[in-house]
Amino acid sequence: MPRDFEIVPVENDRDRNAFIDFQYELYRNNPVWVPYLRSERIEFTDRNRHPFFKHGDVAFYRAVRNKRTIGTIAAIRNDNHNQFHQEKTGFFGLFDVIEEYPVAEALFDAARDWTKAQGMETLRGPMSYSTNEECGMLLNAYDMPPVVMMTYNPPYYPTFVERYGFKKSKDLYAYRMDTATFLDGGKGIPEKVLRVADIVEKRHKVRVRKVNMKRFYDELALAKQVYNDAWSRNWGFVPMTDAEFDHLAEELKAILDPDLLFVAEAENGRPVGVSVSLPDVNQAFRHVRNGRLFPFGWAPFLWYRRQINCLRVIIMGVVKDYQLRGIDSVFYLRTIQEGARKGYTWGEMSWILEDNIPMRQAIEALYGTIYKTYRVYDLSV
């Protein structure tokens, strides 16, 4: 049966704007979706501005019917990933589509063909553009908005992906923890966690302190030392370049809460762990429906930002030779204590690999429960 649409590459700024605009059109009437800032999406897809393009390439495609965009996908080659893992894996991301499988199928064809032409043997996704950014397809909890820097998709997406032939590669969990659990009338902080925290500080001589924002760039240098060591054994890990790390830090700087940022230091002052939690600014961005702060988006954003009651633990890692000493438990304990003091009523720990048992046990020891699951898929090309 002939198609009544075509798949076209993004070749200029006009095409790129149409690519970006489609997501706002698709989710316009979805009260759960949180719009990205358009300025951020423009930078994210700009080859001259985003640091990913210094070590990778992306082909952007649109599905078009009667001059109207009805689907998008990005086909991605990440040279750093393939060099680090000694693989030939391509990726797809920025996938959105109307509820018509033939359109999704054609978009997947385009991504598969492009990555195969790049010499890849596997197509993995969704990732935009790597595990250092947003990844995973939501499998449940479609009635709940995503927290900051987490993804959302309609329930028909996994059906389309699996119908095409993609198979599960890895599940990623989002845990929920409620502050009330640890306050008067709740279960309180488990004695075991308090004991572990005491051992970390006394026996292992590790000090956990807050980040000093007056020395932001010095502290950033410490975080860089920890990051690429702490996560190097994790599935899908890709070392962040200095440019990527600095870019992320500058993006987050405006929303960081110094009371939710921690560094663990050994007795000799060596940084051995880092923990970063963010206020869930998505609770405010939900009310900036068109993705534009100017000229009218600032007022609702500032109003709802004052009502944020959730935080997300986005980064938590310990260097390899200090892992399994309980430092992660101390990070969680300090985050809970500070979060409760500042009025956050709940937090999300995400994302956690399904087979990261030590991290999952640390969260579950503090009564954390899985409330969302995201899946990354693979396809042989």
Alpha-carbon dihedral 333, 336, 341, 346, rounded to 10 degrees: -170
pLDDT value at 208 more than 60: yes
**pLDDT band at residue 186 using 50, 70 and 90 as cut-offs:** confident
**CA gap 121, 112 in Å, rounded:** 10
Q: Say what the pLDDT of residue 295 is.
A: 55
**282: exposed, middle or buried (C-beta count within 10 Å: 0-12, 13-18, 19+)?**
buried
Identical fold for domains 6-172 and 176-374, yes or no, is yes
Mean pLDDT, residues 224-237 taken together: 88
Q: Say what the pLDDT of residue 189 is.
A: 86
pLDDT value at 239 more than 80: yes
Q: Say what the pLDDT of residue 273 is.
A: 95
pLDDT value at 21 more than 70: yes
Number of residues in the chain: 381
Q: 184-187 contacts: CB < 8 A, separation 24 or more?
A: 187/367
**CA gap 24, 38 in Å, rounded:** 9
**pLDDT band at residue 149 using 50, 70 and 90 as cut-offs:** very high
Question: Cis peptide before 129, with omega less than 30 degrees from 0?
Answer: yes
Question: Are the CB atoms for 72 and 63 separated by under 8 Å?
Answer: yes
**pLDDT band at residue 141 using 50, 70 and 90 as cut-offs:** very high
Question: Cis peptide before 344, with omega less than 30 degrees from 0?
Answer: no
DSSP secondary-structure letter at 77? E
Query: Which is more confidently placed, 268 or 91?
Result: 91
Question: Are the CB atoms for 110 and 80 separated by under 8 Å?
Answer: no
Express as a percent the part of the chain with pLDDT over 70. Answer: 96
Pairing between β-strand 68-78 and β-strand 56-65 as defined by DSSP bridges = antiparallel
CA nearest to 246, candidates 233, 261, 227: 227
Mean pLDDT, residues 312-328 taken together: 92
Q: Say what the pLDDT of residue 297 is.
A: 56
Q: What is the pLDDT of residues 80-107, one digit of tens each?
A: 999 999 999 999 999 999 999 999 999 9
pTM of the model: 0.94
Q: Say what the pLDDT of residue 233 is.
A: 84
CA nearest to 276, candidates 245, 241, 244: 245
Mean pLDDT, residues 15-38 taken together: 94
pLDDT value at 251 more than 90: no
CA dist 139 → 9, 96, 122, 151 (Å): 29, 15, 22, 11
**CA gap 312, 351 in Å, rounded:** 10
The CATH number that domain 176-374 falls under is 3.40.630.30
**CA gap 263, 166 in Å, rounded:** 39
- What residue has token string 């043997």? 121
Mean pLDDT, residues 300-316 taken together: 84
**CA gap 158, 170 in Å, rounded:** 14
Mean pLDDT, residues 367-376 taken together: 97
**pLDDT band at residue 1 using 50, 70 and 90 as cut-offs:** low
Write out the CATH class of domain 6-172: alpha beta
Q: Which two tokens mark 369?
A: 């429960």
Please report, for the chain, the start and end positions of each structural domain, with discontinuous segments joined by +: 6-172, 176-374
**65: exposed, middle or buried (C-beta count within 10 Å: 0-12, 13-18, 19+)?**
middle
Q: Which two tokens mark 33?
A: 């979706």
**pLDDT band at residue 129 using 50, 70 and 90 as cut-offs:** very high
Pairing between β-strand 122-125 and β-strand 89-97 as defined by DSSP bridges = parallel
Q: What is the pLDDT of residues 254-263, one digit of tens each?
A: 889 999 999 9
Q: Say what the pLDDT of residue 293 is.
A: 61
Q: How many CA atoms lie within 13 A of 226 on its CB side?
A: 25
What's the whole-number average pLDDT of the chain? 92
Q: Say what the pLDDT of residue 152 is.
A: 97
**CA gap 331, 324 in Å, rounded:** 13
Mean pLDDT, residues 224-229 taken together: 88
Q: What is the pLDDT of residues 151-161, one digit of tens each?
A: 999 999 999 99
Q: Say what the pLDDT of residue 203 is.
A: 85
Express as a percent the part of the chain with pLDDT over 90. Answer: 74
Q: What is the 3-state secondary structure (H, E, C) of 166-213?
A: CEEEEEEEEEEEEHHHHCCCCCCCCHHHHHHHHHHHHCCCCEEEECCH
Amino acid identity for residue 184 in this structure = D
